[in-house]
A and B are shown apart, each in its own frame.
Chain A
Amino acid sequence: MQSESARMTTAHEAGFRVQAPNSRPRAAKVIALDATAAALLEPISRATWHGAAFFTSMNFTALTTSGQPLDAWLKDVAGHTMNLMSEVAAADFVVVVAGAGEDARAVSVIADACRMHSKTLVGLIVPRADDSDEAITASLKELRPYAKMLVVANGADYIEAMLTALRA
């Protein structure tokens, strides 16, 4: 008699798989850590996303001098100011995007917020074609202590590919 595994792994049987959705869209908060990353995110943010929202972190320096991450603010692509903690609390995961060799210090504040809300932080470094290995290394060093997953993208289109793959 044919085994159950043999019967159940045919292409024919694949046609009987339950077709109901098995997940809901993810709420991804995608934060540019620097101006280079913000420029990369701007066109991507204009696409239709299920649950991705795009921000810049440019106000961090001024707002975190107290050392209280709760006071940190983000700016969304429409220019609205948003509270970092509220945004992270509402996220399924957080992605920080950095240009190679750029100032990525804001990641520490975002990481604090992620830690407080037990959210996964993904770090994405997007080098330009002429960026040096040293610049990439510097960014890796800056993001490594904070990111659960750290990726050097092979082009800006990877941001979109990753968010789509993660159902954001």
Chain B
Amino acid sequence: MLRKEQNDYLAQTGPGTPLGNLFRSYWMPALLADELPEADCPPVRVKLMSERLLAFRDSEGKLGLIDEFCAHRGVSLWFGRNEECGLRCPYHGWKFDVTGQCVDVPSEAVESGYAKKIKLKSYPLIEQGGILWTYMGPPEKQPPLPEFEFSTVPLNQTFTTKRLQECNWLQAMEGGIDSSHVSFLHRGDLSNDPLFQGAAGNKYNMQDFKPVFEVVPSDGGLLIGARRNAEDGQYYWRITPWVMPCYTGVPPRGDHPLHGHFWVPIDDENCWAWSYDYHPTRALTEKEVQAMKDGKGVHVKYVPGTYRPAANKENDYLMDRAAQKAGRTFSGIEGIGMQDASLQESMGPLCDRTKENLVSTDNGIIMARQRLLKAARELADKGTVPPGVNPEHHKVRQAALLLKHDVPFSDGAKEALKARKGVRQTTV
């Protein structure tokens, strides 16, 4: 349960809000690199943290993320012509470069210097791991580039998608650290989904529906361990890392690629659910990539030409009551991503947490909220750099392993939880 003011504090990420300032301390995924495939390609509208922006790649391939609207009369530069190292507004011909600097005002003499006095707000945009990342905070506090393993392995080892989720970022992200829902909502997918099936560890999930949880703070966020009974005095541990403010990893299954998410606010009622799959030591197989493109695992099928899932609120998520009744899916919705999204969107665009009734197994969620609140306050009061900004905090891995009963996962899985180049994931 949160008081309304706490709920609003955590949910709102627009400019000037405490959580908005916190988010603006980090590099965030903004677009897929494929959205700006070549020099002078069409610009793309981007809304992030309640700011309307426009991304484009200029004639030299330089990336820009600028205020969407022309400084002259406020028309959307999405209609602009991307040509000769700038984006020209089709209304009166004003032109802007990738830094938002106005470089031409046709109605004014060049010698007047008028153009130099016009500059749109812009943010850095860099490409890494097939993703275009932006940093929307104060330039003097720009941190080093992100070093999440999924975006730093060779491109043939990683695959990332994004989907629109029509609810506040926090209720979406909380699903990523809520390990206790897996035994119910995703029950059917362990044996059916090509990106999960066949792992030796799956049997422990299916044998023990009452996992016991441990939550341990990490430098960048949290480690949430779920343990189930296994043979020979051992526990089967699945360990989920959360890196502040919105990165979550899903513990692996067998040699399947590792997957996880970024939950990035679009505005206070929508977010991007970024979903990645990668393997630390090998290229993804054609079969794996095809399964991801087909919407298996944590990915989804789309409404063609959009990033909106094909199963969405407009069609009741293609609810299949017969499949629900027959137990093929627990909720009647197909696919892990949409099983989560359908329920999280059903909470409403911004979940009212004054009415929720958490239980002890929700401690991961409780602690994540507390860490976010604390970090936002310390940033506001003392300028303290929040956890998760330091790229060292990104070098964490999800893990699944067997440990003797008396070994804490934070000790027994210490090495397994480190992202190390060329070292295979620890998995069962």
Q: Which positions in A face B, CB cutoff 8 Å? A: 2-6, 8-11, 13-14, 17, 22-23, 93, 120, 122, 133, 136-137, 140-141, 144-145, 147-154, 157-158, 161-162, 164-167
Contacts and interface: CB of A to CB of B under 8 A. Distances in A.
A148 B359 CA distance: 11
B358 A165 contact: yes
Closest CB pairs A-B (n = 8): A154-B217, A5-B313, A149-B360, A14-B348, A140-B408, A165-B366, A150-B214, A6-B313
A133 B166 CA distance: 42
A5 B166 CA distance: 12
A115 B195 CA distance: 39
Given A9-B345, A11-B350, A152-B217, A166 B212 contact: no
Nearest to B414: A133
A23 B360 contact: no
Interface residues of B, number: 41
Name the prevailing secondary structure of the A interface residues. Answer: mixed
Interface of B: 1-2, 166-167, 212-217, 269, 313-317, 342, 345-346, 348-350, 352, 355, 357-363, 366-367, 369-371, 405-406, 408, 410-411
B363 A149 contact: yes
A9 B346 contact: yes
Contacts of A147: 212
Contacts of A166: 1, 358-360, 366
Contacts of A151: 214-216, 363, 367
B408 A141 contact: yes
A140 B214 contact: yes
Nearest to A26: B357
A24 to B, nearest CB: 10
Given A5-B313, A165-B2, A152 B359 contact: no
A148 to B, nearest CB: 6
Contacts of A150: 212-215
Contacts, number: 117
Contact of B213 (A149, A158, A162, A167): A149
Contacts of B406: 141, 144
B300 to A, nearest CB: 16
B317 A5 contact: yes
Given A9-B166, A9-B313, A23 B357 contact: yes
Nearest to A168: B1
A144 B227 CA distance: 11
A149 B314 CA distance: 39
A4 B316 contact: yes
Nearest to B355: A22
B234 to A, nearest CB: 13
Instruction: Indicate the member of A8, A93, A154 with the most B CB atoms within 10 Å.
Output: A154
B409 to A, nearest CB: 9
Contact of A3 (B212, B314, B360, B371): B314
A32 B408 CA distance: 22
A154 B367 contact: yes
Contacts of B269: 11
B1 A158 contact: no
Contacts of B345: 5, 9
B411 A137 contact: yes
6 contacts: A5-B345, A9-B166, A152-B216, A154-B217, A154-B370, A166-B358
A5 B357 contact: no
A22 B357 contact: yes
Given A10-B348, A17-B348, A149-B214, 5 more contacts: A13-B348, A141-B408, A165-B358, A165-B369, A166-B366
A149 B360 CA distance: 6
B363 A162 contact: yes
A9 B168 CA distance: 12
A88 to B, nearest CB: 15
B366 A162 contact: yes
B366 A17 contact: no
Contacts of B314: 2-3, 5-6
Nearest to B223: A152
Contacts of B352: 14, 17
Contacts of B316: 3-5
A1 B313 CA distance: 12
A162 B362 CA distance: 10
A28 to B, nearest CB: 10
Given A147-B212, A148-B361, A165 B315 contact: no
Nearest to B362: A165
A161 B362 CA distance: 12
B1 A165 contact: yes
B360 A148 contact: yes
B370 A158 contact: yes
Nearest to A21: B355
